[in-house]
Every structure is written in C-alpha cells, then in structure tokens.
Structure 1
Amino acid sequence: MPTAFMPPALRKLTGDNDRITIEAHTVREAIAELEHRYPGIEARLTADGAIKPGLAVAVDGNVSTQGMLQKLKPDSELHFLPAIGGG
C-alpha cells in the first residue's frame, strides 16, 4: 500500500504520525482516505478540488504535474511539500 509522508505542519492532525499507510490508487483517493482517518486534513491539502496553492505533491520522488489525478503504485511514496518561492 502507498505511504503518505506528513510534513511537520500537518502532524498535529495525524496524532504526530509522520508516515501513514493508505489504500489508494490516486492522489485524490489518498487524500480522501486521509480525511476519513483524520477529519480536517483535506481542507489543509486541497482547495476547489485541487492541491492547495502553496503546496506541491511528490510521488515517488517526482513533483506531480497531474495533481489529484496522479496515479499511485502499491509501493508509492507520497509527500506533501510546501512550495518554495524565491526571487
């Protein structure tokens, strides 16, 4: 099953769990499963049905360009990362 890695800012919602094994085939399903287990986390990760601005999602080490539709493999690692800005 895929593993979701939680950034420190979200661990308060997950009972300090930094890794959560989930049953999911897409990022959308992963977030729905996280919301089922940890109510309120979806609002911190999404807005208007997409990954929230200021966040990025990386799957298996690659930042996803498909957002919520990104497919997951049974052994995928899913990371929610704050977007890094600069100038």
Structure 2
Amino acid sequence: MAKVVIWGSLKPHTGGKSEVTVEARNVQELLARLGEAYPGLQPQIKRGVSVSIDGLIYREGWLQPLAPDSEVFLLPRMQGG
C-alpha cells in the first residue's frame, strides 16, 4: 500500500490525519479511493490537487503508476499567475 501524506489545508478533510495508506495502482485510483474514504476531500480533489510521488510532482498524471512502497504527498493545487 502506498503511504499518502496529506498536506496543509487538506488535512482537516481527513479528520486531522496527516498520513494514510491506500492501495491503488495509479493516481486516478488513489484519488478515487481517498474520496470514498474521506468524503470531505472530494470537493478538494475536484477543484484540483497536485500529487508528488517519490519526490516528483505531477499535476495531471492520472495514470502515473504507483508502486506498493510509493510515498505520495497530496497537496492543494497552487493558484496564481
């Protein structure tokens, strides 16, 4: 199972948990399972999140594969211009 670190303003939507484990083959599956387990995250995920997998940040890498020992950081998507 991938270890998922919940970052910043997303943490209140997991009941204050800063780290959870999720079994998923790719980012899309990971986000779907997080949304099921923590319904408060669903609006945040729909608005957009960034995902860091083993130190690399992906903005739209929905099919990016996850290894069972991947470390994933879930971050609110940064807005700006």
TM-score normalised over the length of structure 2: 0.82
**RCO comparison, higher one (Cα < 8 Å, 6+):** 2
State the identity %. Answer: 36
Shift of 1:46: 2.9
Instruction: Report whether the alignment pairs 1:72 with 2:66.
Output: yes
Tell me which amino acid in the other structure corresponds to 1:7: W
TM-score normalised over the length of structure 1: 0.77
Q: Secondary structure at the match of 1:68?
A: coil
**Alignment length (residue pairs):** 80
Higher Rg: 1
In structure 2, relative to structure 1, the CA distance for the partners of 1:34 and 1:58 (3 Å cut) is same
Gaps of 5+ in 1: none
Gaps of 5+ in 2: none
